[in-house]
Structure 1
Amino acid sequence: MADLEKAAVRGEPPAWLRELETALLTHAQVMFYGNVRDMYLVPGPSGWLLPDIRGGIWSCLERAGYRFLVVADPVDGVQLLPHTPEITAVAQELIGTRTGSGGRLSPERLLQVIRRVAEAGVRAGVLVDYAARLIRDPRQLEPEEHHFFAACEKLAHTTRPVRLEGEPGQRYNPVLWVVGGERDLPSWFTADNPALRRVALPMPDLTDRRTTAEILAPTLLPADLPAVKREEYVHRFAAQTQSLTLRSMVEIARLAAAGKEGGEEQTSEVIEAAARSYRVGIVENPWSRPVLRDQLIHADEGLRRRVLGQPEAVARALDIVTRSVMGLSGAQSSATASRPRGVLFFAGPTGVGKTELAKALTELVFGDERAYIRFDMSEFAAEHAADRLIGAPPGYVGHDAGGELTNAIRQRPFSLVLFDEIEKAHPRILDKFLQILDEGRLTDGMGSTVYFSEALLVFTSNLGMTARDADGRPLLTPDTPRDELVAEVTAEIGRHMAERLNRPELLNRIGDNIVVFNFVAKEAATDIFDLLVERILRLVERECGTRVTLAADIRAQLLELATADTSLGGRGIGSVLETALVNPLARALFAQGEAAPPHQTLTGLLPAPAGWEAVLV
């Protein structure tokens, strides 16, 4: 910690405060926007400090020789920094009003304070905090509000810097505005105003988070912890809080300290749990269930029974899921904590089990298929359809409803999200996935951030399956060797994203998580046929109260019909069974009415003008 204190003494204030130091010489007014409700690293006499924006601004003015800062906001009225009897007497005489009394701050009263401070013969400044709350709508000002900002605009152009006795140069007594966004104040007041400096406050970077983690370390780590171990924990804490504010880090440290029961070996887990709870709430974490690791050991056999004919795809998907369970997804990256738990890109022929495997993985990891969230990306082919995912922007119909994707993740942060047929989405919509895959978060139309750090994302695609050679014949068929199938599908995915969509960065973020499915082989087609027939007959017995058995020759007839063309996979087999078995069986049972016997055998399927006819005995 001593080294940290020395670094703070030698260090510099944040860039936005250094910009304020310059603006005191050049601009009468300054507007701060962006990350204005955070805490900020400011060097103090004995170490780093973490003040809010008011404290940070005052630290800058104090170093520049200012005597006090008047802080005005529409809730608490007028206050002072520093708040001492001597300063209070001087300031109250200057601005002509009591400080610290609270009460509503009218535009007229605030304008009086601003004028007196800006034109004072003592070095001072005025900070208007929550400035956007002074008005109802910046686009439609009330007469009193319009007069207030018109007077402030004129003051910005007419105020002159002053040189006080004993000072080397001239400085303004600044008027400082704190707002959330650039458009929170009237555009005619802020745009093209050379006397108003606009300063954006960014989110903290990794260096800021590491320094803050060092400051907070004494509340989390044993005092006798070796320096190497300490550095490791500090780095992990900074990585776990990617995309969060320094204020969030303070809250996470407080949460972790309250939940710390064990020693050094539990520290990392406690910090990770606290960061997760801060992001997504106190929800049971299925990724940490001890039974999940046991389930993964024996999952291969169960998944192969459910997704027939895809042993390679099942094994590859399980590898990626296992990596997610261990928390090692993207381990080669410098900051992985906020990224999604795992990413899978299922590619291959239609009807071969891509969606079925996604459902099976949902049940395996989360124990509940309700954690499965599906988006058909063919519905998002238009650019404006992005509003459905994240919500309409402010001012548009449905703005307050939020987005389908952001709402779903907010309600179920631990879930599997399936984006079906991703290649059919508009390229601009795919830009949203860049942020999700890289930062693990997304901001909806209302400005709220949702986190995908505990979600498993699955994309499906049929890219490459319609490619044809010069003679118009399909390049890929059920007879294509697997190595050739994988190479061609993977290459087509790369070409599609890099050349047609011009989104090579999306492919980079998916990485090696592409899982290619096989065509349905003859043996697998027979197994799928048996599974679907059993499912149909079981449903008939439950719904119609009669048990139907297929004669051997009828079963063979149906099998030959259903598996004659396996290019459409299990979905094609199901379609044939619906036409040749379900429809005629439904007509025959309907004709029997209440007289249907408890057990029957299907002994004949006869072609007819209206379709197949079933013979039941």
Structure 2
Amino acid sequence: MDRLEQFVNQEELVLSPEDVAFVISRWTKIPVSRMLEDEKTKLLHLEDLLVKRVVDQDQAIATIAEAVRRSRSGIKRHNRPIGSFLFLGPTVTGKTELAKTLAEFLFNDESNIVRFDMSEYMEKHSVAKLIGAPPGYVGYDQGGLLTEKVRRNPFSVVLFDEVEKADPDVFNIMLQIMDDGRLTDGQGNTIDFTNTIVILTSNFGAHYILDCYRENKPVERDEMMNVLKTKFRPEFLNRLEWIIFRPLTEVGIGTIVDIQLKVINGILKDQKMTIVCSKDAKKALADRGYNFEMGARPLQRLIEKEILNPLSIGIIDGRFPEGSNVEVRMKKEDFEIVKV
């Protein structure tokens, strides 16, 4: 709204094509970059943009960047989504983060992601929750959670997290989206999915991926297919482009420590506070937070326990008032937070 207010306050209004595109974008939810056709540079350097936020997944990033460029160049069927991907790999290796980053890059806002936790769609009636109840049933007038969100935000990333947990009937809905680029909701409205990116994440088969990297062997597609076929139908798997996420490395977990500190500083900005971490403390976080099988989850718990919890107590009891600069240090084997 600040931009619109600037126009109102000017004595003589001069509108550029960018200004018009900005206003129309706000009304239509169509990204400005799409309307101004200035995506070329970003598309050609997509890997460089994604790698800043997604750690240790260069091959996964390269694969999805190639698929997005093919779609954006027009080399795709027009009645399908921009892309349909199955993100496979161990837990907390960047699958959801890559989906969020794509939403921000392609649609100018990380919030342009329609996310569903498929552990909430394990029952037979789950399809009705997604597309709406048919006429005569309770909730008919409310619409479906999936169809309504995409109707309101047609340019978005549609993320189905932990898809292996969904009821099998839900897979039929996904197949229709991937094949036809549309869904018909319970009220008979046709919802367009051709401007969406559909991403399914799964930890299913993670044991095979972990074993391959542990033994320094390539992940073979045929072997991966044999594993996945125990859970998913082959026709479902063949509609998707698979993206394999490798286990995090010790070097990668160190990078994630830096990223998490930036996130914490962003949260503290409202209180005019900053936090830094000594070299020894960073190393301790990386060493103690690394786990080959569990990805970055132990690091997340460690940061909560050793940084966020004591920091919040210090803010409440007044040791770290607004405007404070604090540092995480090591005191022998323990973390400590001090005002500097």
Category of TM-score, reference length = shorter chain: 0.7 to 0.9
Residues 375, 413 of structure 1: alpha-carbon distance in 2 compared, 3 angstrom cutoff: same
What's the CA shift for 1:556? Answer: 2.9
> Helix, strand or coil for the counterpart of 1:359?
helix
Aligned to 1:423: 164
Aligned to 1:306: 53
> Helix, strand or coil for the counterpart of 1:561?
helix
Q: Is the 8 A contact 2:329 2:335 kept in 1?
A: no
What's the CA shift for 1:425? Answer: 0.5
Q: Is the 8 A contact 1:440 1:452 kept in 2?
A: yes
Q: Which of residues 70, 75, 83 in structure 2 aligns to 1:342?
A: 83
Residues 316, 432 of structure 1: alpha-carbon distance in 2 compared, 3 angstrom cutoff: same
Aligned to 2:288: 561
Deviations 1:149-182 (A, max 9, x none): xxxxxxxxxxxxxxxxxxxxxxxxxxxxxxxxxx
Residues 529, 475 of structure 1: alpha-carbon distance in 2 compared, 3 angstrom cutoff: closer
The whole-number CA distance in structure 2 between the counterparts of 1:605 and 1:589 is: 21
What pairs up with 1:567-582 in 2 under 5 angstroms? 567-582=293-308
Residues 613, 544 of structure 1: alpha-carbon distance in 2 compared, 3 angstrom cutoff: farther
Aligned to 1:614: 336
Q: Is the 8 A contact 1:362 1:415 kept in 2?
A: yes
Deviations 1:64-101 (A, max 9, x none): xxxxxxxxxxxxxxxxxxxxxxxxxxxxxxxxxxxxxx
> Helix, strand or coil for the counterpart of 1:383?
coil
Aligned to 1:111: none
TM-score (ref. length: structure 1): 0.47
Residues 601, 521 of structure 1: alpha-carbon distance in 2 compared, 3 angstrom cutoff: closer
Residues 288, 545 of structure 1: alpha-carbon distance in 2 compared, 3 angstrom cutoff: closer
Aligned to 2:62: 315
Deviations 1:350-381 (A, max 9, x none): 11111111111112211122321111111101
The whole-number CA distance in structure 1 between the counterparts of 2:185 and 2:72 is: 28
Larger CA Rg, structure 1 vs 2 = 1
Q: Is the 8 A contact 1:393 1:446 kept in 2?
A: yes
What's the CA shift for 1:384? Answer: 0.5
What pairs up with 1:41-120 in 2 under 5 angstroms? none
Q: Is the 8 A contact 1:409 1:450 kept in 2?
A: yes
Q: Which of residues 22, 31, 42 in structure 2 aligns to 1:295?
A: 42
Mark the runs of 5 or more structure 2 residues left unpaired by the alignment. Answer: 1-27
> Helix, strand or coil for the counterpart of 2:276?
strand
Deviations 1:17-66 (A, max 9, x none): xxxxxxxxxxxxxxxxxxxxxxxxxxxxxxxxxxxxxxxxxxxxxxxxxx
Aligned to 1:507: 237
Q: Is the 8 A contact 2:278 2:327 kept in 1?
A: yes
Residues 593, 494 of structure 1: alpha-carbon distance in 2 compared, 3 angstrom cutoff: same
> Helix, strand or coil for the counterpart of 1:476?
helix
What pairs up with 1:354-433 in 2 under 5 angstroms? 354-433=95-174
> Helix, strand or coil for the counterpart of 1:386?
helix
> Helix, strand or coil for the counterpart of 2:248?
coil
Aligned to 1:445: 186
Verify: 1:529 aligned to 2:257, yes or no.
yes
What's the CA shift for 1:551? Answer: 3.5
Residues 291, 517 of structure 1: alpha-carbon distance in 2 compared, 3 angstrom cutoff: same
> Helix, strand or coil for the counterpart of 2:238?
helix
The whole-number CA distance in structure 2 between the counterparts of 1:547 and 1:340 is: 42
What's the CA shift for 1:522? Answer: 1.2
What pairs up with 1:159-558 in 2 under 5 angstroms? 284=30, 289-329=36-76, 336-466=77-207, 476=211, 479-481=214-216, 483-484=218-219, 488-497=223-232, 503-510=233-240, 513-540=241-268, 542-558=269-285
Mark the runs of 5 or more structure 1 residues left unpaired by the alignment. Answer: 1-281, 330-335, 468-473, 498-502
> Helix, strand or coil for the counterpart of 1:343?
strand
Verify: 1:590 aligned to 2:320, yes or no.
no
Q: Which amino acid aligns with 1:422?
A: V
Residues 366, 615 of structure 1: alpha-carbon distance in 2 compared, 3 angstrom cutoff: closer
Q: Which amino acid aligns with 1:616?
A: V
> Helix, strand or coil for the counterpart of 1:369?
coil
The whole-number CA distance in structure 1 between the counterparts of 2:262 and 2:143 is: 43
Residues 495, 526 of structure 1: alpha-carbon distance in 2 compared, 3 angstrom cutoff: same
Q: Is the 8 A contact 2:114 2:158 kept in 1?
A: yes
The whole-number CA distance in structure 2 between the counterparts of 1:526 and 1:486 is: 30
TM-score (ref. length: structure 2): 0.82
Q: Which amino acid aligns with 1:326?
A: S
Q: Is the 8 A contact 1:376 1:420 kept in 2?
A: yes
What's the CA shift for 1:504? Answer: 2.4
The whole-number CA distance in structure 2 between the counterparts of 1:347 and 1:595 is: 44
The whole-number CA distance in structure 2 between the counterparts of 1:417 and 1:457 is: 5
Q: Which amino acid aligns with 1:484?
A: V
Residues 538, 439 of structure 1: alpha-carbon distance in 2 compared, 3 angstrom cutoff: closer
What's the CA shift for 1:284? Answer: 4.5
Q: Which amino acid aligns with 2:180?
A: E
Residues 361, 547 of structure 1: alpha-carbon distance in 2 compared, 3 angstrom cutoff: closer
The whole-number CA distance in structure 2 between the counterparts of 1:425 and 1:292 is: 35
Q: Which amino acid aligns with 2:280?
A: D
Aligned to 2:7: none
> Helix, strand or coil for the counterpart of 1:320?
helix
What's the CA shift for 1:307? Answer: 0.6
Residues 444, 482 of structure 1: alpha-carbon distance in 2 compared, 3 angstrom cutoff: farther
Q: Is the 8 A contact 1:545 1:598 kept in 2?
A: yes
Residues 514, 603 of structure 1: alpha-carbon distance in 2 compared, 3 angstrom cutoff: closer
